[in-house]
Amino acid sequence: MGGHLALELNADRPDGAPLPAVQVTVNGQDVGQLTPTNGWQRYTLTLPSITGPLTITLRSTTFRPRDYDRASPDNRALGVRVRLVAVQP
């Protein structure tokens, strides 16, 4: 199976925070790196020819909201927001 992988991503980073680097793999094979911006955007990557089930993995650099707003109680390591993952012909 070839085709395309469509992703809708949103960096959702506060002012001053670096944009995330998102590494995308399918069944352990690297298919691309993205740098999402703030606001929802659609990104499309070409899929390699793979038969059978797909395991899609997104790995993102993180930030902690508290590092950019010391009054924030949120000290979670946050990556990137994902609204859609779709495989298309």
Residue range 4-26, pLDDT digits in tens: 999 999 999 999 999 999 999 99
pTM for this prediction:
0.90
Q: How far is CA 26 from CA 1, 12, 40, 48, 86, in A?
A: 12, 24, 22, 8, 13
pLDDT tens digit sequence for 61-72: 999 999 999 999
pLDDT by residue (tens digit) across 22-43?
A: 999 999 999 999 999 999 999 9
Pull the structure tokens for residue 5.
């992988």
Other Cβ atoms less than 10 A from the Cβ of 74: the count is: 9
